[in-house]
Structure 1
């Protein structure tokens, strides 16, 4: 559902979808990227990456993995151990081994210190603001359903991004070598990485504009392909295989992405003959997006009956009801999702949003608790900060409302707005208190970013 919401700093466009938040493609300039968040999909990809990271001595929790809603095939890492995967890459990896191979390669860039090094210290900025700077544009904040985090639409100049993100051939070979060792160590096959390279190799004869972005930012050489071919040939018959559970998770992830990223009619056609769980999942999402609530609810209720302890099915039902204006009915579904996955910050923000929109003043305190809990785990979620400001404002706490708005504006790249709210908040908050000291940090960061 495309909505327009008025906030203090202007109009924000959002498209609300369960589990995935993205901006309607029609509203985004050509070749723009949109950051999307989804707890279920991020969790699946994190499962793929965790053993590879641990084997490299990198704590999995130190690496954030985010998706960009772009049908092109690409992936990259940036300073701060941030890995970005294009949805085009994920959706074209029909089996998990290809995606796992690419993830292993990207981890190789992290392990080798090949991160994109910016002139600015990006570590203090929230992910979406980093993305805006990274892609050479001001971060335009596009927010919607909070359980899905926030989305940032950024117009991209392909040449600038290509040059900025490009790795050297030496770095690429080094990342390949790391990936092969890491996959072997974890008993995972390298066949997917080789298949991916062969797919890229077929594009080398195409014009630059026709090639996938991955090929342009990750130079491919015949020597690299030979090295991986030799490795695969030498390890064939070792029994390396992707865990069976990952194959099921991968099918669910693809179904979810296809349900949200394809037109509903396309998704329904694609999964028309699929009565397995991923097929029903995709059709539930497609019917929901087509405003066909009855078949959508029927399908999701069937999935919940099959897996009553799956928090993401409850999340989806809550989303369906919430976006259909049935906020009170949505609350039990969001509450159940949080009860099943209490450490998932995006689910807590979804519940808080429903609690705030319910109009029940008694739910404002629980909403603030859920938002505080979520932000303690993921403090870069600008939409969660905005909701917290709203909850404080409704409770009459203008000081903390201004503080939360300052956090929101900082993470949205609205530095003058952040300074405005800092000025209002610091006159109402006790000097020297933790919140007052945080306001001084926001002032310093906002002034520096604005001047840059």
Structure 2
């Protein structure tokens, strides 16, 4: 019984914690890649790409999950461990299988501890923390029969998601080799950490696992995948090239600089290596070296919006906002006003403290939040614009928007009420402030009820 409880506890740490206590990493280039990688799979599943998102979570474990709704959460550790984008596509197909099957066991009633802007805006934004009460409830069931039923239910869901993932991979015309090779990685991990019976650990019970044993899953799927016309289809060279860039960028952002520089030595003059080293040097406080790596990138592709974005961000965070404007303005234009890039540009305009830039900053930031309302950093910058203009009602509204995303319901309620008191009743902004106030009040009342 203790062994089963221990296994269940491990599963809960793996599934519940990321949905309630980890950080979302946001980056324009990464999000564009994940959207393009998942689009054919989403369509093959009969879903709309406009409604399904793939979100990157800052967690170095190899994992992915769904937690309600049409969102697939991928751990940064999984992207780091993958050899190809095709392997990640196999994981995405499996998780979309959970979505189509309605398999989200743990519902997150809060949100996420924070959002980090991967493109060097460290600590720029935060979101709501969740309680994770579902996991506690499972742990308190206390009876072997109930736990066994849960584990069996989970194994059935995993097998069902495997089968659905195969259908979606085949329907998308994508090779299933990545799905199998990534399962091989999971099998190696299970051997390494003792989840298979061995001479030294003979008591591992495959029926006391939340997931079917990975080796068995591979054999079950291999025949179907190999029979598909797309089995020997070449990988998408463009997607794979973009994946290596994003992977290097992510490694440079999350890993210790020393680790990154060993992995991508100066002798490596590829675009991914320049990317990784630029982040490593920037994190280490060597702006000149970071700028040199970025300059090498821009030289190879002067019109690449993501290279220009990085160039501008390094200048901005090195205390040179005026010098950053050219690169960030061009990055915003060439990315078709991508909201995350535009928010950084708006921030740079404000950082110059030049009143002549205020109107442009307002225009850029208003467009950014209109296209992506879930960026607390952009709302903070827009609030600064309104504050400098002396527009107190809209300063309060922007503060309410940001506080609501951060889970600070008390500030959200107070700021929304302040905005309502000074905005024309019935106007679009007044209605939005009213909505935030109602949501914040409901959340606070619910929190009080839980504490009783």
Q: TM-score, normalised by structure 2?
A: 0.81
**Structure possessing the higher radius of gyration over alpha carbons:** 2
Secondary structure, in 3 states, of the residue corresponding to 2:99?
helix
The answer to whether the 8 Å contact 2:251/2:276 transfers is yes
- Structure having the higher helix fraction is 2
Which whole-Å CA distance do the structure 1 matches of 2:269 and 2:323 have between them?
Answer: 28
Q: TM-score, normalised by structure 1?
A: 0.81
Secondary structure, in 3 states, of the residue corresponding to 1:85?
strand
The answer to whether the 8 Å contact 1:389/1:402 transfers is yes
- Structure 1 stretch displaced more, 394-403 or 175-184: 175-184
Question: Is 2:233 the counterpart of 1:244?
Answer: no
Alignment deviations for residues 196-216 of structure 1 (CA, whole Å, 9 cap, x no partner): 2233234445357xx9xxx97
Shift of 1:412: 1.0
Cross-structure match for 2:85: 96
Secondary structure, in 3 states, of the residue corresponding to 2:227?
helix
What is the aligned length?
403
Cross-structure match for 1:199: 185
Question: Is 2:255 the counterpart of 1:262?
Answer: yes
Secondary structure, in 3 states, of the residue corresponding to 2:297?
helix
The answer to whether the 8 Å contact 2:126/2:376 transfers is no
Which whole-Å CA distance do the structure 1 matches of 2:76 and 2:432 have between them?
Answer: 36
Cross-structure match for 2:46: 57
Structure 1: which 5+ residue stretches go unaligned? 1-30, 121-128, 132-138
Alignment of 1:248-397 (within 5 A): 248-272=241-265, 273-397=267-391
CA-based RMSD: 3.1
Structure 2: which 5+ residue stretches go unaligned? 1-19, 140-149, 196-203, 447-452
Which whole-Å CA distance do the structure 1 matches of 2:58 and 2:209 have between them?
Answer: 19
The answer to whether the 8 Å contact 2:183/2:218 transfers is yes
Question: Which of structures 1 and 2 has the larger relative contact order (alpha carbons within 8 angstroms, sep 6+)?
Answer: 1
Question: Is 2:382 the counterpart of 1:407?
Answer: no
- Structure 1 stretch displaced more, 361-370 or 36-45: 361-370
Secondary structure, in 3 states, of the residue corresponding to 1:274?
coil
Question: Is 2:444 the counterpart of 1:450?
Answer: yes
Which whole-Å CA distance do the structure 2 matches of 1:443 and 1:156 have between them?
Answer: 22
Question: Is 2:71 the counterpart of 1:77?
Answer: no
Alignment deviations for residues 315-368 of structure 1 (CA, whole Å, 9 cap, x no partner): 111111111101110111110100100241100100011111110112222212
Which whole-Å CA distance do the structure 1 matches of 2:368 and 2:183 have between them?
Answer: 39
Are the structure 2 counterparts of residues 416 and 158 from structure 1 closer, same or farther at C-alpha, using a change threshold of 3 Å? closer
Shift of 1:141: 7.4
Cross-structure match for 2:167: 181
Q: 1:44 aligns with which of 33, 46, 49?
A: 33
The answer to whether the 8 Å contact 2:128/2:407 transfers is no
Shift of 1:151: 4.7
Cross-structure match for 1:15: none
